[in-house]
Structure 1
């Protein structure tokens, strides 16, 4: 048994297209599909400055030196 992990986008039509390696052609396969929605993490949000996070300018300068 082999596994292939992909990340793809499913459009409004709900169709998932999977292209398999050519060496799998002309074979009967059992296929299992397990899916999990991708959850966007906070790392994709704009980066906040130390001041926006509640640190004073003086504190930031002391830590940097």
Structure 2
């Protein structure tokens, strides 16, 4: 069984886990990972102000999609 929980440590540094009863008396490996659910632009490989400078800035004609009925056949199409 694989169980993923997202929990918050309280101001005293205490973490409490309530696990499902079917895990009672089982030996478990617990892995704790400190993570930020919202990585910064820099962590994603962008400059810090990239999204503020680029989001919503397109000023040309709206993009259009070509008709795809005559597209190349793919291996999975056969």
Tell me which protein shows more helix as a share of its residues: 1
TM-score (norm 1): 0.49
Higher RCO (C-alpha 8 Å, min separation 6):
1
